[in-house]
Copies of this chain bind each other. A is one copy, B any other.
Amino acid sequence: MSAEPTLDALVEALRRLPGVGAKSAQRMAVHLLQHDRDGARRIASALEESVARVHHCARCHTFTEHEICAICASPGRDARLLCVVETPADQSALERTGSYRGLYFVLMGRLSPLDGIGPDQVGARELLARAADGQVEEVILATSFTAEGEATAHVLSQALKARGLRVTRLARGVPIGSELEYVDLGTIAHALVDRR
């Protein structure tokens, strides 16, 4: 379809979505134009509105369309606890547990030196400034338990401890509902050390 610049431009644009290759992009374009033109219009306007309105929360760095996000603005939160997560999705997973009443700081990524993502790119400086507000007593590092997430936690932990803050990490252990036989050995070893 080389004589169709508008359609080609749409397929090319859809490829910028993460995880979408040439074939998926073409399938998406055909689906929207054939079956869901209303959906196409909605996606377009939702994207434009989001780009225009959504920015980072001045306190926790997550996405918000307000100056301060709803959680940071909530008076019912315990300002002595600050939980550091990688993404808004991680934050909502923690929120859904209903068992955390402190505040958050969302890194919007994790250290990945090979990809050029250093401490500055994950907002380490903003985190240090945020944690030094005089109210925060404990910083809970809830980055992923992957190599990059662990490295991020290590670097942040050093910097935070140097400023005299109490730093903790989510417990590692055997997930609920799993049989030991199928749990990886590193997890079992950690669960053994951290037994209580």
Q: Which A residues lie at the B interface, using CB under 8 A?
A: 1-7, 9-10, 12-14, 16-19, 23-24, 26-34, 36-37, 39-51, 53-54, 62-66, 69-70, 87-89, 92, 108-109
Contacts and interface: CB of A to CB of B under 8 A. Distances in A.
Nearest to A14: B43
Question: A-side binding surface: helix, strand, loop or mixed?
Answer: helix
Contact of A50 (B6, B24, B49): B6
B45 A44 contact: yes
Contacts of A64: 3-4, 7
Contact of A29 (B19, B29, B50, B65): B50
B50 A40 contact: yes
17 contacts: A1-B92, A6-B46, A6-B65, A7-B50, A7-B63, A9-B49, A10-B46, A10-B49, A13-B46, A16-B36, A18-B31, A19-B24, A26-B89, A43-B44, A43-B47, A44-B44, A44-B48
